[in-house]
């Protein structure tokens, strides 16, 4: 576990973010390996089916992901304040909530899967495969939620390395199962989904066994289990806005897929492959953002707000350089990257157009994410949610729809242009709000100062 309230800010953030970045790489390999093997060995209809399943899965898990992020912030602030009993109570409370939610949401998703795919007007030839993939994946949500909750708990206490080790093992197992079930046993998209579920289950159980043997604060023994309603209320107060943000983003992804679906199977398959590449490109920004949120949470909990500004500026600088390199790679080698997912030339050309347009604006994307990390780390998840929802629902989706209409003449490329338009607004709005300093009012936990009084953050002073 790492104490982020001491040491050089840039070094602490980089060291904390790197294991998360590697973890995110391996986490994405779950989906990417499925997508590559499905696209290469089954066909573009199966590729479209897996892609269409992802936003529906994201809708199911998004609320809990957000709530877990909220409790992670609470854990970080308790840890920064050295309130270790509350750290333990937060952990067991969050874990109970996650497992019960997984069972309920998995059942709901399986029951309504066919109706959902029909509602978003997925091409008819793709629906049966999408439904099969989704049903198997949703059956294993309890393992996905359990492992993600465990990883979030560890990150809240400053440990970003341990989840990485389990993810590496799990990803390698997923690749092995993919080849066994899809290539060797010819199980189709069902085999790809089963491979993911089994590898996630293995990661979850391995993590539980390891933590029970090595950690005192983080353990899952029934005799030490505590469910604290007050801590859950605090966690939900922070986490529900973040959860709603994730949920509305997930519905936004479905709305975008609904627009993409109008252009047929080739465009759906191309979009599926392109956003897999896109997800890799965005991982450094998201990892730095997650690291900065924990950094902010611990330092505000420890009454050290002066480190927040330094941490933000250091993260901006790092992210700028990384994003510039990634943009150049995606723009220059986009056609070859698409070739890893499909041999269909039409699909490759459509996906390449996405990468050329969206890839040019990764610097804007990373800056937006990093600005919002400060707000989330302070517990001001409502403002972050509102900025995200406004940029998604009032800018990205309307712009993508209007620019893709026949009257404009951009076709499917109009969908792609809606994405950087929304990013620009998200960056500007989050930076302007950061400069007001109002986010400092939202801190939930504050360490006592030298006079035995609770730390105080001036509400109106500019944080520059």
372-381 confidence digits (pLDDT tens): 888 888 878 7
> Can you tell me the distance from the alpha carbon of 376 to that of 77, in angstroms, rounded to the nearest whole number?
12
What pLDDT, in 10s, does the model give residues 408-446? 889 999 999 999 999 999 999 999 998 888 887 766 555
For helices 362-378 and 44-80, the axis angle rounded to 10 degrees is 40
Closest CA to 235 of 104, 102, 93, 385: 93
Encode burial over 130-160: b for 16+ CB neighbours within 10 A, e otherwise: bbbbbbbbbbbbbbbbbbbbbbbbbbbbbbb
Residue 170: pLDDT band with limits 50, 70, 90: confident
pTM above 0.85, yes or no: no
Percent of the chain with pLDDT over 90: 19
> Can you tell me the distance from the alpha carbon of 55 to that of 255, in angstroms, rounded to the nearest whole number?
9
Residue 360: pLDDT band with limits 50, 70, 90: very high
């Amino acid at each position: 576990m790492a104490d982020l309230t001491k040491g050089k800010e840039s070094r602490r953030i980089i060291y904390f973010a790197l294991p998360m970045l590697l973890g995110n790489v391996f986490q994405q390999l779950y989906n990417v390996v499925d997508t590559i093997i499905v696209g290469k060995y089954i066909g573009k209809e199966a590729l479209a089916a897996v892609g269409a399943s992802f936003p529906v899965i994201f809708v199911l898990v998004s609320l809990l992901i957000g709530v877990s992020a909220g409790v992670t912030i609470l854990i970080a602030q308790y840890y920064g304040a050295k309130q270790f009993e509350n750290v333990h109570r937060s952990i067991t409370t969050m874990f109970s909530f996650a497992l019960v939610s997984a069972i309920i949401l998995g059942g709901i998703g399986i029951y309504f899967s066919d109706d959902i795919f029909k509602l978003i007007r997925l091409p008819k030839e793709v629906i049966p495969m999408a439904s099969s993939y989704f049903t198997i994946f949703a059956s294993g949500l309890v393992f996905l939620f359990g492992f993600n909750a465990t990883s979030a708990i560890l990150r809240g206490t400053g440990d970003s390395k341990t989840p990485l080790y389990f993810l590496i093992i799990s990803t390698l197992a997923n690749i092995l199962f993919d080849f066994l079930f899809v290539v060797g046993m010819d199980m189709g998209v069902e085999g790809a989904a089963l491979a993911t579920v089994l590898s996630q289950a293995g990661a979850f159980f391995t993590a539980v066994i390891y933590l029970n043997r090595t950690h005192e604060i983080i353990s899952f023994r029934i005799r030490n289990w505590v469910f604290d309603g007050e801590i859950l209320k605090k966690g939900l107060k922070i986490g529900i806005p973040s959860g709603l943000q994730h949920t509305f983003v997930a519905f936004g992804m479905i709305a975008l897929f609904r627009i993409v679906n109008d252009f047929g199977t080739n465009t759906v398959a191309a979009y599926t492959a392109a956003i897999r590449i896109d997800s890799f490109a965005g991982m450094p920004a998201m990892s730095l953002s997650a690291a900065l949120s924990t950094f902010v949470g611990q330092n505000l909990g420890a009454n050290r707000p002066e480190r927040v500004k330094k941490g933000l500026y250091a993260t901006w600088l790092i992210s700028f350089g990384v994003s510039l390199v990634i943009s150049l790679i995606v723009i220059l080698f986009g056609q070859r990257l698409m070739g890893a997912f499909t041999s269909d030339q039409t699909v490759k050309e459509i996906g390449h157009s996405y990468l050329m347009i969206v890839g040019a604006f990764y610097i804007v994307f990373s800056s937006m994410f990093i600005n919002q990390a400060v707000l989330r780390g302070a517990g001001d998840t409502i403002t972050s949610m509102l900025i995200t929802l406004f940029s998604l629902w009032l800018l990205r989706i309307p712009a993508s729809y209007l620019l893709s209409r026949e009257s404009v003449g951009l076709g499917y490329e109009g969908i792609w242009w809606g994405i950087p338009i929304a990013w620009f607004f998200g960056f500007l709005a989050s930076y302007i709000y950061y400069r007001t300093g109002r986010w400092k009012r939202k801190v939930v936990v504050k360490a006592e100062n030298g006079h035995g009084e609770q730390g105080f953050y001036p509400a109106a002073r500019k944080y520059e």
